Structure 1
Amino acid sequence: MKKGIRIALGIFAVLLCIGAATLWGAMYYLPNTFNETTDEQVVVIEEKQTGAEIAQMLYEKGLIRSPELFRLALRISGNGAKLQTGYYQIPNKVNQTELIELLQKGHVKAVRVTIPEGYTIGEIAIALEKDRLVTAKEFLDVAKNYVPYQYMYGPKPVTYRVEGFLFPSTYDIPVDASAKDIIDLMAREMNSQLTPDIRKQLDDEHMTIFEFITLASLVEKEALFDKDREPIAAVFKKRLKLGMPIQSDASIQYILGYPKAHVTIEDTQLQSPYNTYIINGLPPGPIANPGKKSLEAVLNAGDTEYLYFVADKEGHNHFTKTYEEHLKVVESIYGN
């Protein structure tokens, strides 16, 4: 063989090795394409699920860059038959090697789920279904009729008696938990927030736990910023004391079923027991599950000189004493 040919073949072999190494690195060490706002994601591998099906699922969840490269990596590593069925929580920015190792031995007995403040029962149901714990339908069916604590009963009919009484927090939920088990877990946490001191304060203010949670749910949905929670609660309490409609836009959004940016005059005329523009007092029940800050805002809200408030385009609320002042602020923010 001529020397030139041997050199060319040698160069080709080196390039081939570099290419293979690059491919190997792409398969094994590139980070995943996880959403930056998500710390972990739940993956469920079921019995008889093929490598191709697993790869497609991981790709759709943004955990791998290519189903084909993932399957190739499994074949090359000899780990294709070693993936275990079960629940997995995959952290952000694992590379493919780490991902394969987790799917071999990292299955969990409980799934960590975070329920944000202000979630409704419907939103909680969707979150639990997304993490493959229970279906949304299973959760909502139980939520309609299951009432762990007597104080969840209000004087008027509601769709979900547990609405408002499931404490927003981070929970480690067993993978075999039923919908009833999950409601129990979250309701117990809310019950633990209702300390003896809080219950005594509510008695002193002649406010039931049901009314307290209902009012806190309105504050939760009205306040984007923490500094607004207490003054909003104070306005609502003053209006209730004076026998005025509390006129909460959040109650209108609950009727509509979505967070409408601007509530119209027509919206405020909707015929519903939850329309706090046309009824006096609180709605029939909570409109969301309030967090600790909104609960504290209701407890700490004292007397106020304000009767009105409106949120600007950034979500900051502006408080006024009279309707005329309120109209001027609304016009200054939104125009005619």
Structure 2
Amino acid sequence: MDRRVKWIGIGVIGVVLILCIAMITMYLKPNSVAGTPQDVVFTVDKDQTGAEIGDMLYEKGIISSPTTFRLALRLTGSMDKLQQGYYQIPQNASLRQVIALLQKGKLQEIKVIIPEGYTIQQIADELEKDGLGPKEAFLEKAKTYVPYQYMYGPAKVDYRVEGFLFPSTYEIPVGSTPEEILKRMAGEMNKQLTPEIRAQIEAKHMTIFEFITLASLVEKEALFDEDRPIIAAVFLKRLQIGMPLQSCASIQYILGYPKPHISIEDTKLPSPYNTYMHVGLPPGPIANPGMKSMEAVLNAPSTDYLFFVADKEGHHHFTKTYEEHMKVVESIYGE
């Protein structure tokens, strides 16, 4: 009997030790529930309980178990130390890091990453995801926000600011209005358009509006940096001889999503942005280009190439004639 009690006691101690080790591991180990690490912004409201906060963190993929979160709060004496406000927490943060951040108080600024080639719609989605207000409010303001005269082009567009919000990482104060955010991003683009760059644009006999429009096409067509200057050169050559640009990126802009393969029917879509049907540049930029695409336009080499096609890895192949172009297309896609 005594021996049985002894073994039961040892078993209980063993289970407790295993649970303790598991708890400590979950407390210290970075969260692996989410895919790629990224910051998640959320709000802790006044009088929200630790259990409610745990459920919210679990739903956003920041923690792997709300039960473990609540237990960790109790064991560390942090249940009543979590503060209300805005928070920005990496999805791969450990439970210890999450609890520590939630005790520091609300954010004063939110980090927002705007990649090269984002459209105004994508920027609005990103701002909403990061907790900086509804995208509808941002898009509504973007329709009328035109701080610089060079944003005006010859044709009507939905968003004059499209193309003129510089892709970068921004620290945006919590509570910023759509106009304040637009002012920050458009101001950064204006800053990047240095006197030297403006002189280069003028030397190419282009307006800033035309330059940004062309750079946006290059941005959306190119996946690899080495292709950008040649793509720009092909577009410039076509503009020079009055040949339609026939940019698949312009069709994707009309469609509103990056369709992998553009069909013949797609190239006939009735839109002023359809560069298969209309000669010259589209009415305005189709995305917000980064500096590499702008530099590609400025430094485009002289070329006799008139055609290009991307292979399945995204590398572009350039040809001088339509016959050569179709041979390359057939060799890549078998069509």
**TM-score (normalizing by structure 1):** 0.95
Structure 1 residues 9 and 271, CA, compared in 2 at 3 Å: closer, same or farther?
A: closer
The one-letter amino acid of 2:159's match is Y
The range that moved more, 211-220 or 170-179, is 170-179
Tell me how far apart the structure 2 counterparts of residues 229 and 34 of structure 1 sit (CA, whole Å). 37
The one-letter amino acid of 1:53's match is E
Whether contact under 8 Å (1:27, 1:73) holds in the other structure is no
The range that moved more, 47-56 or 239-248, is 47-56
Whether contact under 8 Å (1:27, 1:70) holds in the other structure is no
Residue in structure 1 matched with residue 103 of structure 2 by the alignment: 104
Deviation at 1:298, TM superposition (A): 0.4
| 1:167 partnered with 2:166 | yes
Residue in structure 2 matched with residue 46 of structure 1 by the alignment: 45
3-state SS of 1:57 partner: helix
Residue in structure 2 matched with residue 275 of structure 1 by the alignment: 274
Deviation at 1:23, TM superposition (A): 4.8
- CA deviation map 1:71-108 (0-9, x unaligned): 22223333222111122222353221221111111532
Residue in structure 2 matched with residue 325 of structure 1 by the alignment: 324
| 1:200 partnered with 2:227 | no
Matches within 5 A, 1:241-280: 241-280=240-279
- Give the share of equivalent positions with the same residue, in percent: 62
Residue in structure 1 matched with residue 149 of structure 2 by the alignment: 150
Whether contact under 8 Å (2:85, 2:105) holds in the other structure is no
Paired residue total: 335
Unaligned runs of 5+ in 1: none
Tell me how far apart the structure 2 counterparts of residues 138 and 15 of structure 1 sit (CA, whole Å). 57
The range that moved more, 93-102 or 257-266, is 93-102
CA RMSD between the two structures: 1.7
3-state SS of 1:171 partner: strand
3-state SS of 1:172 partner: strand
The range that moved more, 104-113 or 28-37, is 28-37
Matches within 5 A, 1:69-80: 69-80=68-79
The range that moved more, 184-193 or 79-88, is 79-88
Unaligned runs of 5+ in 2: none
The range that moved more, 216-225 or 48-57, is 48-57
- CA deviation map 1:129-154 (0-9, x unaligned): 00101111111011111111111111
| 1:288 partnered with 2:270 | no
- CA deviation map 1:91-128 (0-9, x unaligned): 35322122111111153211111100000000000011
3-state SS of 2:214 partner: helix
Residue in structure 2 matched with residue 88 of structure 1 by the alignment: 87
Structure 1 residues 34 and 142, CA, compared in 2 at 3 Å: closer, same or farther?
A: farther
The range that moved more, 8-17 or 79-88, is 8-17
Whether contact under 8 Å (1:34, 1:63) holds in the other structure is yes
**TM-score (normalizing by structure 2):** 0.95
Tell me how far apart the structure 2 counterparts of residues 16 and 312 of structure 1 sit (CA, whole Å). 57
Tell me how far apart the structure 1 counterparts of residues 2 and 182 of structure 2 sit (CA, whole Å). 78
The one-letter amino acid of 2:328's match is V
Whether contact under 8 Å (2:112, 2:171) holds in the other structure is yes
